[in-house]
Amino acid sequence: MSIRAVLYDMDGTVLDTLEDLKNAVNAALAAFGRPALTLEQVRAYVGNGSRRLIELALGEGAASAEIERMLAWYKPWYDAHCRILTRPYPGVLPLMERLKAAGVRQAIVSNKPDSAVRALAEDFFPGLAEFAVGERESEGIRRKPWPDMLDTVRAQMALPPEDCLYVGDSEVDILTAANAGLRCVSVTWGFRSREQLLQAGAQTLVDTPEALGDLVLASP
């Protein structure tokens, strides 16, 4: 079956957001008198949305009220500082341009706040991502690994699961694709190692955006 649409995760897949995420989390921690995290700690904590990131940053035993206060501080700060060091991974823009020219539709589906996802997609992928959606649980759309976000974008595209490919860099993405009934490709340039991806059940891995494009366009 041919691939008519590619749905991408954002952090660690199309954008290297790690430094800006680290700086935002550490700004929030400093505001609450908490010690800073290392880059590798933040790398391990991202993937399950901003709430989970804050929960892990505060550590076990943090009160729910403190989590809520810090989350409310973090979200607008990150929105205002999410485009300082963030950049597309090398080769991602040529990949997306190549797929668009071949008639493959594209979208971005991320657990990060919806406002940040839309702003980043507009800045870095204008005219390439048909849809860019982030966390919208207040609207009853559950975050990944629930299938809701992928299902919603597919419905907007009017495409069945067999026509879509989901591309991500983490165990969350592998599980999300399985829950949504989509084929999954895991990239090795993101926030998880090849070994971590294989342990999470990755079936298809690619090492470069060019290889991903070859795989998509070679699909029968």
CA separation, residue 79 to residues 8, 154, 186 (Å): 20, 26, 27
Catalytic residue among 9, 16, 20, 173: 9
Strands across the sheet containing 131-135: 131-135, 105-113, 5-8, 164-168, 183-187, 205-206
Asked if 220 and 2 touch (Cβ cutoff 8 Å), the reply is: yes
Q: Are strands 105-113 and 131-135 parallel, antiparallel or unpaired?
A: parallel
CA–CA dist 7, 149 (Å, integer): 11
3-state secondary structure 146-191: CCHHHHHHHHHHCCCHHHEEEEECCHHHHHHHHHHCCEEEEECCCC
Answer yes or no: 9 catalytic. yes
Catalytic residue numbers, as ranges: 9
